[in-house]
A and B are shown apart, each in its own frame.
Chain A
Amino acid sequence: MGIVSPGFSGRRRSGSELPPGQYLTRDFPVLSAGPTPHIRTEHWEFTVTTETGEATKWDWAALLALPADEITKDIHCVTRWSKLETNWKGVSLDTLLADVETSADYALVHSYGGYTTNVPMDDLLDGQAWIAYEYDGEPIDPEHGGPARLLVPHLYFWKSAKWVRGLVLSDNQDLGFWETAGYHEYGDPWKEQRYAGD
């Protein structure tokens, strides 16, 4: 369907390549559904539970002991802001999952505070996802998901769960928090998969 909005001309941005319907921001907006959890690194744990119930855990020291990547990626929020060339440091999920025996197709990501989001395993491996613990050379602020958040920047940013504490791997796709509340199950910004059915 097509209408024209009388008197609207809009402001076209030139230069940067953004996914459809996104606009550029230089701030770092915050989006979360409840109070910000404040997790001390000495209490932090990250647990991967496979489809057979096998659990592998890392504490903060174990995470920091793993080889880390410097990551520079564009990020795209479903609320329409995009931020270009954000800088992170973190451990690739390829590294974390290297010795985890699984053939699961899906992960449900769990966070401190109760947040969840679902991501296919194919999107977590092969250099596409990290457990990030630094932003712009500094520890990640709690309101931006510190001490550690998932970073899976090729999907809308709600998939990059703040305050991450684990993955539960499964052969079935269980939907997460926003996905259950009407958002798209996959969330590819380039296909503009904002809401269920897009």
Chain B
Amino acid sequence: MERTTIRRRLTWQVGTVTDVRRETATARTLVVDVPDWPGHLAGQHLDVRLTAPDGYRASRSYSVASAWPGDTIELTVEQVPEGEVSPYLVDVLQVGDPLEIRGPVGGWFVWKPEQEGPVQLIGGGSGIVPLRAMLRAHAAAASTTPVRLLYSVRRPASVIYVQDLKELAASDDVDVRLVYTREAPAGEPRVGRIDADVIERLAFKPADEPTTYVCGPTPFVEAVADLLVAAGHDPARVRTERFGPTGGP
């Protein structure tokens, strides 16, 4: 497995929320200005810490949705039912508020523009977030590496980054395909999960030697990673990240 050495002490920094964007009924993107941000790789995550007036604290990890350099820090947060931190980030936090951040963290689920070979991204639901950072990094670097995104969503209204994905899909080097599991838009007859047939038709072939990044809820990631291995992809080239109410890096 590839090794990336990032060993330095991470300290909490106070950022300021400069913009918020509603993505779906349950997800919101926060744009955060952090004065001394050391930069991050596409796919890395960071920790957010909230502090109540009596000093009580709660922290969670979130993938960074933006590329560096080229973007500000963006976090897209999906509200977890019964969650403690995500409802605050999705519904309460306002432009101008401070937000404590520590990171970046994680050296495995990352894409670097100088990396060899095509890139296959496969996201389920809010698992699109670190993949979007990779797409942004690809665009920022004007990379000609072929990239394919397979994005599994329940219905059209669940798509995060609608506008961004439309723009990215216009690039010759990026192929964006949506898979609808519950309800498809008009003109898109297929409704169903990513299966062996979808992988066969829309993903890079094992012979293309892609590096594949799979992110989403655990059952999604397990199913897709198993399909890839069954289709002949080298498990060592399949990198996974599991999201969910209790997921993190």
A contact residues vs B (CB 8 Å cutoff): 1-12, 21, 23, 25, 27, 29-37, 77-81, 113-115, 143, 177-178, 180-183, 195-198
Contact = CB atoms under 8 A, between A and B. Distances in A.
Contacts of A113: 235
Contacts of B50: 5, 8, 10
B98 A195 contact: no
Contact of A80 (B52, B53, B59, B242): B59
A35 B229 contact: yes
Contact of B92 (A1, A7, A36, A197): A7
A117 B221 CA distance: 22
B82 to A, nearest CB: 9
Contacts of A115: 1
B249 A3 contact: no
Given A10-B58, A196-B8, A35 B225 contact: yes
Contact of A8 (B92, B236, B244, B248): B92
A10 B59 contact: no
B107 A23 contact: no
A30 B14 contact: no
Given A2-B51, A29-B218, A31-B248, A182 B235 contact: no
A196 B88 contact: no
A30 B52 CA distance: 30
Contacts of A114: 1, 236
A77 B8 CA distance: 21
Contact of B247 (A8, A79, A177, A196): A79
Interface of B: 1, 3-10, 12, 14, 50-53, 55-61, 84, 88, 92-94, 97-100, 105-109, 218, 222, 225-226, 228-229, 235-236, 238-240, 242, 244-249
A180 B218 CA distance: 24
A35 B14 contact: no
A32 B221 CA distance: 10
B5 A180 contact: yes
Contact of B226 (A10, A35, A79, A196): A35
B10 A34 contact: no
Contact of A197 (B10, B106, B228, B238): B10
A178 B61 CA distance: 16
A50 B60 CA distance: 39
Contacts of A195: 9-10, 105
Given A5-B52, A143-B218, A25 B246 contact: yes
B210 to A, nearest CB: 14
11 contacts: A1-B100, A4-B51, A11-B58, A27-B246, A31-B242, A33-B240, A36-B226, A81-B246, A180-B5, A195-B9, A196-B6
Contact of A79 (B51, B61, B108, B109): B61
A5 B99 contact: yes
Contacts of B236: 34, 114
Contacts of B239: 33-34
Contacts of A21: 57, 59
